[in-house]
């Protein structure tokens, strides 16, 4: 852009009232006066330019500075690389010493180092011995176990309990023995497993006061009571004394429990050791006596009854009754007997052992025994044993009895029904005995009423299996058969039969006459005179005479009033009756030797199929427009009602 | 001051000095002077964008030094 063209532009701009463009030559003076105000866009842009320039300059300065610094560093490095290391090296140390003297000096040095180390160790030992731990150091530290648990005499190693920092602040240090802790946990678990009697008014705790009601929940509400004691420099012994003086029962109880846990090598097995087992031969099972009883015996409903009846005489004589009873009971569970007895023995042995160690448990044992009587003793007590199985069996049996009586009439009814169904499907009813049919109808009559009027209230559609009449009515219902004027047809049929009979009669008369004539001819020997040819002619004449007479008779009968009905009826190959139009088409096709094209044939076939389908449809089918549903839909349309017939 | 190139891709190409703060309407007068068409017949736009409106400035459309604008005939619709 040269100045001239810009000048040119400026003229136009001035004319339009716009700011003139800066001319390159005269630009300097204008730019010399910097515009301080940044109110206009130009001034702001100019400021932006200035800022940009400043930044660029700063960047450049920085770059230069860095370059300079880099150069200085480079120079220094170079100088350092060149400088020689000063001071003595290893080899420079005493260059007058030979190898032997150097070795000696090394030995001396080693000794000096050892001496220094020993001195240090002695110092450390002296310091350690000066702060020896005593019992006073542990004073005030809690131990998280019962003092009694330390009375066994075993040496226990206590460690600081692992707690959070804050808890530690609150409670102070606590000591615990890992082994004891384990034991306590185990004990707790076992206590949980063992079912304690919840409330016992006779129970008295160790201080002699009755326990609080629902004391078993105290632990859950208040949290566990921790048995803990604090070590004191001098006080430990007194506390120990306290414990030793305390309720003996409690202490011993605890000790015993621990004993059980520690001393018992393993829980005593309920089962015998395999080496001790003696196998008894199982008794031969008797056939099930309990099941065998007279079927008609309705009075003895329960199994127990039977047993009671057996035993009723010796209820009072205990011992004998027990044994016998036992036998009756055991016969069913003969294979369990050995096992049960051995188990009982084992348990008894275990119990004995426990009793030796835990005398205070006897009371509890006795109490429990009183509450839950031994199942064996219950069995021995005599009387009826009603358990789930026996009851189940009894109910089963009772029902069977009822059923045996009930179904008989049902079966009879069913038989009647099937018979009725049979004979209705059978078409030649006339072949049966009238009496038979009557009987059957009588037997079906109660059911027939039901069958006639089903729950829907609509009469059932007749089926073809119901016979000719049913079929006809079915077809009529569906309008598949036109209502033919039956009486008219019948009349016509009768007239025709009459006509035929009359014709027959008259012809028979005529035939009789001719026969008599012929006899006469034969007798007169007229035939014999004739030649064969003449005879033939004569016969022919006779025949024509007969024909003439026949037609004459017919004519006479017609004149007397018989009107034959003439009907042209065409059928196609399938036996459908054709209309005149269709018949003409058919004839035409036959005459010309070719049928319709594919399209027309298809249409025709489709029509046929449609007709077939329509005939097969059910009367009451709502989905199609047939029978009843058509009527309903027509009604709806007439009344302009929308709706769908359901089912 | 910026120099804007106006090109109609049919052989007319003109370089026009202006301020970025000039209104499009005024800029069109400058173009008209150079190109020889009435200002109201001139339609300016960046390639492939919508035509510039008269009320706005070149700076509004981000036109800076050396930018080329397309010049078309404004038929008024």
Question: What's the pLDDT band for A620 if we cut at 50, 70, 90?
Answer: low
Report the residue of B2, B16, B19 to disrupt the A interface, i.e. the one with the largest count of A CBs within 10 Å: B19
Q: Which residues contact B59 (CB under 8 A, 6 or more apart)?
A: A41, B20, B21
Q: ipTM value of the model?
A: 0.84
pLDDT value of position A225: 65
What number is the average pLDDT over the span A148-174?
Answer: 77
- pLDDT value at A192 more than 60: yes
Please check whether residue A444 lies inside any domain of the structure.
no
pTM: 0.24
Is B1 in contact with A21 (Cβ distance < 8 A)?
Answer: yes
Decide which of A246 and B63 is more confident. B63
Is A6 in contact with B19 (Cβ distance < 8 A)?
Answer: no
Q: Give CA–CA dist B40/B2, Å, rounded.
A: 23
Chain B, nearest residue to A41 by Cα: B21
pLDDT tens string A391-436:
777 777 555 544 454 444 444 444 444 444 444 444 444 454 444 4
Strands A174-176 and A142-143: parallel
Report the residue of A3, A10, A12 to disrupt the B interface, i.e. the one with the largest count of B CBs within 10 Å: A12
CB pairs under 8 A between A and B: 30
Q: Which helix (H) or strand (E) holds A12?
A: helix A3-16
Q: Give CA–CA dist B6/B12, Å, rounded.
A: 8
Please check whether residue A423 lies inside any domain of the structure.
no
Q: Which residues contact A595 (CB under 8 A, 6 or more apart)?
A: A589, A601
Is A12 in contact with B29 (Cβ distance < 8 A)?
Answer: yes
Is B21 in contact with A1 (Cβ distance < 8 A)?
Answer: no
The domain B2-73 is placed in CATH, from the list 3.20.20.70, 3.40.50.360, 3.90.650.10, 3.10.20.90, at 3.10.20.90
Sort out which chain B residues have CB atoms less than 8 A from A19's CB and list them: 19
Q: Are residues A145 and A259 in the same domain?
A: yes
Q: Are residues A334 and A399 in the same domain?
A: yes
Q: Are A307 and A326 in contact (CB under 8 A)?
A: no
Is B17 in contact with A12 (Cβ distance < 8 A)?
Answer: no
Please check whether residue A636 lies inside any domain of the structure.
no
Chain A, nearest residue to B31 by Cα: A9
Q: Which domain holds residue A152?
A: 141-197+224-263
Domain count, chain A: 4
Is A21 in contact with B18 (Cβ distance < 8 A)?
Answer: yes
Residue A592 CA from chain centroid, whole number? 73
Label residue A148 left, alpha or beta by phi (over 0 means left) and psi (-120 to 50 means alpha): alpha
pLDDT tens string A49-83:
999 999 999 999 999 999 999 999 999 999 999 88
Question: What's the pLDDT band for A591 if we cut at 50, 70, 90?
Answer: very high
Q: Are residues A243 and A311 in the same domain?
A: no
- pLDDT value at A248 more than 70: no
Sheet with A229-230, edge to edge strand ranges: A159-160, A174-176, A142-143, A229-230
Please check whether residue A121 lies inside any domain of the structure.
no
Please check whether residue A547 lies inside any domain of the structure.
yes
Please check whether residue A301 lies inside any domain of the structure.
yes
Which residues make beta-bridge pairs with A378?
Answer: none
Q: Are residues A160 and A230 in the same domain?
A: yes
Structure tokens, B64: 């800076």
DSSP per-residue codes, A42-95: HHHHHHHHHHHHHHHHHHHHHHHHHHHHHHHHHHHHHHHHHSPP-S--TTTTTT
Please check whether residue A571 lies inside any domain of the structure.
yes
Q: Give CA–CA dist B13/B7, Å, rounded.
A: 4
Q: Are residues A497 and A398 in the same domain?
A: no
pLDDT value of position A588: 93
Domain ranges across chain B: 2-73
Q: 3-class DSSP state for residue A8? A: helix
pLDDT tens string A434-493:
444 444 444 444 444 444 444 555 566 677 777 888 888 877 777 777 666 778 888 888
Please check whether residue A173 lies inside any domain of the structure.
yes
């Amino acid at each position: 852009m040269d100045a001239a063209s810009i000048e040119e532009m400026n003229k136009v701009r001035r004319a339009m009232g716009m700011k003139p463009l800066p001319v390159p030559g005269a630009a300097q003076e204008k730019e010399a006066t910097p515009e301080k105000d940044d109110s206009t866009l130009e001034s702001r842009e100019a400021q932006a330019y200035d800022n940009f320039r400043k930044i660029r300059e700063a960047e450049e300065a920085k770059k230069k500075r860095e370059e300079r610094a880099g150069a200085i560093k480079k120079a220094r490095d170079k100088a350092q690389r060149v400088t020689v290391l000063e001071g003595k090296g290893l080899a420079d140390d005493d260059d007058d010493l030979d190898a032997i003297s150097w070795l000696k000096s090394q030995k001396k040095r080693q000794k000096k180092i050892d001496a220094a180390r020993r001195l240090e160790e002695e110092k450390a030992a002296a310091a350690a011995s000066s702060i020896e731990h005593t019992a006073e150091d542990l004073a005030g530290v809690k131990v998280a176990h019962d003092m009694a648990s330390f009375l066994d005499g075993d040496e226990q190693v206590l460690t600081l309990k692992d707690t959070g920092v804050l808890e530690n602040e609150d409670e102070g240090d606590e000591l615990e023995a890992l082994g004891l802790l384990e034991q306590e946990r185990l004990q707790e678990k076992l206590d949980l497993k063992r079912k304690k009697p919840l409330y016992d008014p006779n129970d008295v705790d160790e201080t002699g006061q009755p326990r609080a009601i629902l004391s078993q929940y105290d632990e859950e509400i208040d949290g566990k009571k921790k048995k803990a004691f604090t070590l004191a420099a001098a006080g430990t012994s007194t506390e120990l004394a306290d414990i030793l003086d305390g309720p003996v029962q409690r202490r011993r109880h605890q000790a015993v429990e621990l004993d059980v846990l520690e001393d018992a090598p393993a829980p005593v097995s309920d089962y015998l050791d395999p080496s001790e087992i003696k196998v008894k031969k199982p008794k031969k099972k008797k056939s099930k006596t309990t099941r065998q009883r007279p079927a008609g015996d309705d009075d003895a409903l329960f199994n127990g009854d039977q047993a009671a009846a057996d035993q009723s005489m010796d209820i009072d004589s205990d011992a004998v009754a027990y044994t016998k009873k036992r036998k009756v009971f055991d016969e069913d569970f003969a294979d369990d007997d050995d096992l049960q007895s051995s188990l009982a023995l084992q348990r008894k042995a275990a119990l004995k052992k426990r009793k030796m160690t835990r005398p205070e448990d006897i009371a509890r044992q006795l109490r429990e025994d009183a509450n839950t009587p031994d199942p064996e003793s219950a069995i021995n007590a005599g009387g009826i044993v009603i358990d789930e199985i026996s009851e189940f069996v009894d109910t089963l049996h009772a029902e069977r009895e009822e059923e045996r009586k009930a179904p008989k009439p049902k079966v009879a009814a069913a038989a009647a029904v099937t018979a009725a169904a049979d004979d209705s499907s059978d078409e030649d009813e006339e072949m049966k005995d009238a009496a038979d049919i009557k009987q059957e109808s009588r037997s079906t009559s109660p059911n027939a009423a039901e069958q006639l009027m089903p729950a829907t209230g609509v009469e059932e559609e007749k089926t073809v299996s119901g016979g000719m009449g049913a079929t006809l009515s079915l077809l009529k219902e569906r309008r598949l058969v036109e209502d033919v004027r039956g009486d008219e047809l019948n009349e016509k049929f009768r007239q025709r039969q009459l006509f035929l009979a009359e014709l027959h009669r008259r012809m028979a008369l005529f035939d009789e006459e001719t026969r008599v004539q012929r006899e006469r001819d034969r007798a007169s020997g007229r035939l014999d005179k004739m030649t064969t040819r003449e005879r033939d002619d004569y016969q022919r004449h006779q025949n024509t005479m007969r024909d003439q007479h026949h037609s004459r008779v017919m004519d006479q009968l017609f004149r007397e009033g018989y009107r034959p009905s003439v009907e042209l009826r065409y059928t196609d190959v399938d036996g459908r009756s054709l209309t005149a139009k269709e018949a003409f088409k058919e004839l035409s096709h036959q005459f010309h030797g070719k049928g319709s094209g594919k399209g027309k044939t298809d249409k025709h076939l489709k029509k046929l199929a449609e007709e077939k389908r329509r005939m097969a449809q059910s009367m009451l089918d709502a989905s199609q427009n047939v029978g009843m549903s058509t009527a309903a839909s027509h009604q709806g349309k007439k009344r302009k009602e929308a709706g769908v017939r359901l089912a | 001051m910026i120099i804007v190139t106006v090109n109609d891709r049919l052989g007319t190409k003109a370089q026009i000095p202006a301020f970025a703060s000039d209104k499009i309407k005024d800029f069109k007068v400058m173009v008209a002077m150079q190109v020889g068409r009435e200002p109201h017949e001139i339609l300016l736009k960046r390639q492939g964008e919508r035509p510039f409106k008269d009320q706005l400035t070149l700076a509004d459309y981000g036109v800076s030094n050396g930018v080329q604008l397309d010049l078309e005939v404004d038929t008024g619709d």
